[in-house]
Amino acid sequence: MSKNPEFKIWLAVFLLSGLIFLGLSFSVGAAGTSTDAKLDSDGDGYTDAVEEDWGYDPLSTSTARLEQKIEINLAKQQLTYYVGGEVRRQFFVSTGLPGFATPKGTFKIAGKNKKAWSRTYGLWMPYWLELGGPGISKGSIGIHELPIWPGGKREGENHLGRPVSHGCIRLGMGAAQYVYDRAPQGTAVVIK
């Protein structure tokens, strides 16, 4: 996250307009602070809401990130993004079809790629977050935006909320970039 004041204004406007456009819920207060959108508890020039959204403690000038975690609920087809143990955002996802089940367990983000190519399925997977851990072959399962076929056709948003993938966790447009931008490599991913 940049410490540039112009970036702060752009980021706040971008986040709020995106939330309104996408109709997503927004939870502020992960570090126990006020939900006042203009509050800057540590006086560093960034509002508490912006700092929390990017995983920083608004009560500290430290650049250390708060603990982040991603949880995938297969029954609800939902991704929950946590910062500092508190729910930050929730998004509908599409996980694996029967026969292509998304693996259950605790994993970590092992790699990131803004536009990964699947040789197996011949399509692009924007905002790829590769999962690593027990039972997962390198590069085989990840979290990504709705895939794009070589001709430019994108899998539809109407797939979100039901299992249609070959095992990956698909997120909608906007949601995938949000998670990609904020979750660093090494973030825990719990799939249940």
Among residues 80, 30, 25, 67, the alpha carbon closest in space to that of 191 is found at 80
**Separation of alpha carbons 136 and 147, rounded Å:** 20
Walk along the chain (192 residues) and give the pLDDT tens digit of each residue: 555 445 444 455 455 444 433 434 444 344 444 457 789 998 888 999 899 889 999 998 889 999 999 999 999 999 999 999 999 999 999 999 999 999 999 999 999 999 999 988 899 999 999 999 988 888 789 999 999 999 999 987 789 999 999 999 999 999 999 999 999 999 999 999
- Rounded to 5 degrees, what angle do the CA atoms 99, 190, 66 make? 155
Residues 6+ apart with CB under 8 A from 43: 61
CATH number belonging to domain 68-191: 2.40.440.10
Q: With contact defined as beta carbons under 8 Å apart, do 181 and 100 qualify?
A: no
- For the question of whether the overall pTM of this predicted structure is more than 0.85, the answer is no
In the chain, list all ranges with CATH 2.40.440.10. Answer: 68-191
